[in-house]
Amino acid sequence: MKETVLKKFEEIFGDTDGVSVYFAPGRVNMIGEHTDYNGGHVFPCALTIGTYAAARKRNDDKLFLYSMNFDSLGVIKSTIKDLKPEKEAEWTNYPKGVMWAFEKRGFKLPCGLDVVLYGNIPNGSGLSSSASLEVLTGFMLRDLFGFEVSNIDLALIGQYSENNFNGMNCGIMDQFASAMGKKDNAIFLNTADLSYEYAPLVLKGAKIVVTNSNVKHKLTDSSYNTRRSECEQALKELQTKVDVQTLGDLTEKEFEAHKSAIKDDARLRRAKHAVYENQRTIRAVEALKNNDVELFGKLMNESHVSLRDDYEVSCSEIDILVEEAWKIDGVIGSRITGAGFGGCTVSIVKDEAVEEFKNRLSAAYEERVGKKADFYVVEIGDGPCKL
């Protein structure tokens, strides 16, 4: 990959003198969905697929940004003096947003950049191509300009830029997983206070398989922000009865005791998902520590049902992939992953069932939906790096 982006950099900008190459991973979330902005727990891991950048400093204030994934757009030009979101800036609003967020923290960019990017995360798949790009940009700026920020800062800067520059009201999970990834480990993160621990995710005799529905979600235009505001409103209603800061502070029992405070059925179901999913995530990590992968899988399945019925962020194509997966012997658990409205499922599949899983899901999906599904037997990788 390093050679590929360097070759393209030379083609676009004439030479590779003074160029550095960077990588930041995408992520898959094993369980704990839509809990990260509700003060709950999440359990994501960084992947070995992600986003690559070849970059070098310029001697002026211009930004020349090129993506091999959006070849037809050519080099998109702007300047560090004019960092504001613009429709015509296309995908460059993500790196520009991070630059803007650095400047908000008092880190002034001393000069412009030439950058070539390439991502091998399928776009719109729900594996966090945007967070990967944000963390990559932050890591690259830190290295090129010597900014003193930690990897947790990189995650927070990425989230801040996506919330306030790109208008996507996401939680911290995606950026945190990309910035703090550790090989063969998932991150058990409490999003209320950013306390975390690494939990080994080496599955004996089983693989993690991500299935891409090839139904693309576009989150800023989706119901994601609506879900968040529904949860915020439900929390306000609950706070009239019980002293909590977030939905993640409640046990299932406490929620059931006070849920009558929520005056709207949709808000009630959204809040129920946030509370129950948080408790499921805590139990799932405990199950993993006890080597009870079967219980972990059962909790994944329950998570999908809740996301489908209470949070309503699934779609018919994803439900078909999950339901077909549940029929196969050797599938320990399967659920939607990511923000929803399309994207991917994540499944734990016994080694001997992986080929059958791919073949049967492929055939059923094509027959029932008329689309092809793509499969990735994923490896868990480290966070961002300079190559």
Is position 309 annotated as part of the catalytic site? no
With contact defined as beta carbons under 8 Å apart, do 144 and 95 qualify?
Answer: no
List strands edge to edge, sheet with 44-57: 76-79, 62-67, 113-119, 44-57, 20-29, 385-386
With contact defined as beta carbons under 8 Å apart, do 248 and 40 qualify?
Answer: yes
Query: Which long-range contacts link 363-366 to residues 24+ away (Cβ below 8 Å)?
Result: 364/320, 364/324, 365/213, 365/317, 365/320, 365/321, 365/324
With contact defined as beta carbons under 8 Å apart, do 133 and 51 qualify?
Answer: yes
* Nearest Cα to Cα of residue 127 among 27, 220, 24, 43: 27
Helix, strand or coil for residue 202? coil
The residues that bridge with 333 in the sheet, in sequence order, are: 348
* Nearest Cα to Cα of residue 313 among 33, 103, 12: 33
* Nearest Cα to Cα of residue 9 among 106, 108, 91, 75: 75
Give whole-number Cα distances, 246 to 27, 190, 234, 317, in Å.
25, 12, 10, 32
User: How many whole angstroms separate alpha carbon 15 and alpha carbon 369?
Assistant: 47
Residues 356, 299, 250: CA angle, nearest 5 degrees: 160
Residue ranges in 183-264 assigned as alpha helix (H): 224-238, 252-258
Helix, strand or coil for residue 263? coil
Active site residue: 36, 82, 153, 174, which one?
Answer: 174
Catalytic site residues?
174
